Amino acid sequence: MGISTGQQYIDRVNARRPDVFIDGERIGAGLADHPQFAASVRTFARLFDMQHDSEHQAALTFASPTTGDLVSTSFLVPRTEADLVRRREGMRVWATETNGFLGRTGDYMNSALTALAAATSFFAQADPVFGERIAAYTEYVRENDLLTAHALIPPQTNRAVPSSEQGDGRIAARVVEERADGIVVRGARMLATAAPIADELLVFPSTVLRGAPQDAPYSYAFAIPSDAPGLKYYCRTSMYGGSGVVNEPLAARYEEVDALVVFDDVFVPNDRIFMLGNPKVRNEWYSATGAGQLMTHQVACRTLAKTEFYLGLASEIADAIGIEQFQHIQEDLGELITYVEIERALLRAAEADGEVNADGVYLPRWQTLNAARNWFPKSVSQRLTEIIRKFSASGLMSLPGEQDLQHLDARADLDRYLQGARVDAETRIRLFKLALDASVSGFAGRENLYEYFFFGDPVRMKAALVSSYDRDPARARVRELLARGA
C-alpha cells in the first residue's frame, strides 16, 4: 500500500474508537471532526498529502525494500552518509512546513522504529524473537504509513522512589499478568502527545529513567493500536481557543494534544511485545540500538527549522516597528543567526563524522548530536521566545481582535494608531498576533515547556552527557603540561 493520503489518515482517525476524555466530555469516535482535534488532524493530513505532491515526493519517499511501493524516507535504513543526508532532506520538508512547532510528525518515531528494526545484535542479547517482532512491526507501520505516538514515563506521583514503590507499586503501568498469548498491562503513563489522533501507541522505556532488578514488571516495550480496549486518554484543555488563524496563527495549526494514558487491563499480544523484563538490556534501548541517534537527527532538523522561523519573525518585527538599528536588537539578531548556523553545522558534522555500527547501519556521530540535544533545550529554545517578547514589548498587548478591524467605527483609529514604520495596521496586527502566539500565549508557554523537556529532564541528560563523554584525552593534555619541564 505505501504512503497514505490525508483523507485516508482522516478516515482512519474517524474509524477508530479511542476512549478520550477532554473538558468533561467523553468522546468515543469521530475525533477528526471534533472541534478540539479537527485542527491538528488537518495539519497531520496535510503532511500525509505532501508525500503525494510532485514538488516534495522525491524527498519524502523512497521505494519500499519489500513491496516497491513508495514509503516514507524516515524508514530508509542509512547505510552511508548519503542515506543520512537523504533522510534529512525528507525531514526538512515537514519541519519547514510546520516551522518546527509540531514535535510529533511521523518521522520522529519512525526514526526510532527504523533503528530498532535494524538492531539485530542488540536484541540478540535478550531474545532474538524481540528483534524479529519489532522488524515485522516496523514493516507494518511503514507499509501502512501509520502515525505513531509514544508514552515513555511513569506518572509524577513521587520522584523520590522508583516506580515499584509509587503508591504500593500500583500507579505506573506494569505487567499484571503474563499469558501464553501475551501480557496484561495496568496503571498509567504520564503523557503521550498526539496519541488520541495517532494510529498506534508505542509504550517504550524512558530515555532517562533507569530500571533496577525490582523494576522487572515495569520493564517492557510494546505497541498497541491507539484505541486498544482498556486504553484511556485524559487530555489537557486545548491550547487552541478556536478563534481562527489570524488570532491564533500557531495554535490553530500546530496545537498537539497531550494526554495522560491509563491502561485498564490492556491486553498486548505477543507479536507486539518487543522487550519484557530484563531491565539491564532495556536501559540500553536507545543508546545501543541507534534509536537515540536517528531520533535526535530528526529533532535537530526540526529545531533548526524552528530557529530559522524565529530568526525570520524577529527580523520582521524589528523592521515593522523600526528598531533594527539599535545595537542590542542587532546583538539579539546576531545571536539568532549564530544559533541557526551552529545548529546547521552540528547536523552536518554529525552526518559527516558518522560511523557504521555492528549491524551495518550508518549512524550520525552521537557525541555531536548529544551536545546538540543538551544545548538546544536550555540555551536556545528559551531564548527564542524571550527575544520575541523583548522586541515586541507592549505591541504584544495592544492587539485588537480580528473583528474589530472590520468594525466601521473602529477601523480609522486602528489604521492610524496601529500602523508600523513600514507596514500598515492590518499587517502589523497580524504580525504581532503571530509574535504573541510564538512567545506569550498558552500555546507558546507549552512550546517552551515542550522544548525544555523534549528529550527528558535536562539535568539528568547533562549528567548522562558528562558520564558518557570521553574526557581522558583532554585531561591527559593538562597532565602533560603540568609534567613538562621548563
Closest CB 465 distance from ligand FAD, rounded Å: 14
Tell the smallest beta-carbon distance from residue 378 to ligand FAD (Å): 11
Shortest distance (Å) from residue 203 CB to ligand FAD: 9
Residues in 194-223 that interact with ligand FAD by CB under 6 A: 208
All three cell numbers of 441: 500565549
- Does 230 bind ligand FAD (CB under 6 A)? Our answer is no
> What is the rounded CA–CA span in Å between residue 445 and residue 440?
6
Does position 150 bind ligand FAD by CB under 6 A? yes
- Of 270, 371, 446, 448, the one binding ligand FAD (CB under 6 A) is 446
449 touches ligand FAD by CB under 6 A: yes
CB of 455 to ligand FAD, least distance (A): 7
| Selected binder of ligand FAD within 352, 397, 412, 459 (CB under 6 A) | 459
Distance CA 28, CA 16 (A): 8
Distance (Å, rounded) from C-alpha 106 to C-alpha 292? 16
Q: In whole angstroms, how close is the CB of 158 to ligand FAD at the nearest point?
A: 10
Nearer Cβ to ligand FAD (79/460): 460
Q: Does 456 bind ligand FAD (CB under 6 A)?
A: yes
Which grid cell is 207?
Answer: 530515555
- Contact status: 56 vs ligand FAD (CB under 6 A): no
Closer Cβ to ligand FAD, 275 or 311, answer by number:
275
Q: Which of 460, 462, 475, 477 binds ligand FAD (CB under 6 A)?
A: 460
Span interacting with ligand FAD, options 342-350, 362-370, 414-422, 446-454, rule CB under 6 A: 446-454
Residue 208's φ and ψ, nearest 5 degrees, are -120, -25
Looking at 152, 318, 347, 384, which residue binds ligand FAD (CB under 6 A)? Answer: 152
Residue 56: closest CA among 77, 75, 70, 67: 70
Between CA 307 and CA 303 the distance in angstroms is 6
C-beta of 307: minimal distance to ligand FAD in Å? Answer: 18
Structural contact between residues 104 and 194, judged by C-beta atoms closer than 8 angstroms: yes
Strands 61-63 and 70-72 turn out to be: antiparallel
Question: CB burial class (10 A; 0-12, 13-18, 19+) of residue 363?
Answer: buried
Distance CA 478, CA 483 (A): 9
C-beta separation of 320 from 420 below 8 A:
yes
CB of 190 to ligand FAD, least distance (A): 6
Integer CA distances (angstroms), 62 to 85, 93, 96, 193, 470, in order: 13, 14, 20, 27, 37
Query: Among 153, 223, 262, 329, which residue sits at the site for ligand FAD (rule: CB under 6 A)?
Result: 153
Judged by the rule CB under 6 A, the positions of this chain that interact with ligand FAD are 150-153, 156, 159, 190-193, 208, 258, 446, 449-450, 453, 456-457, 459-460
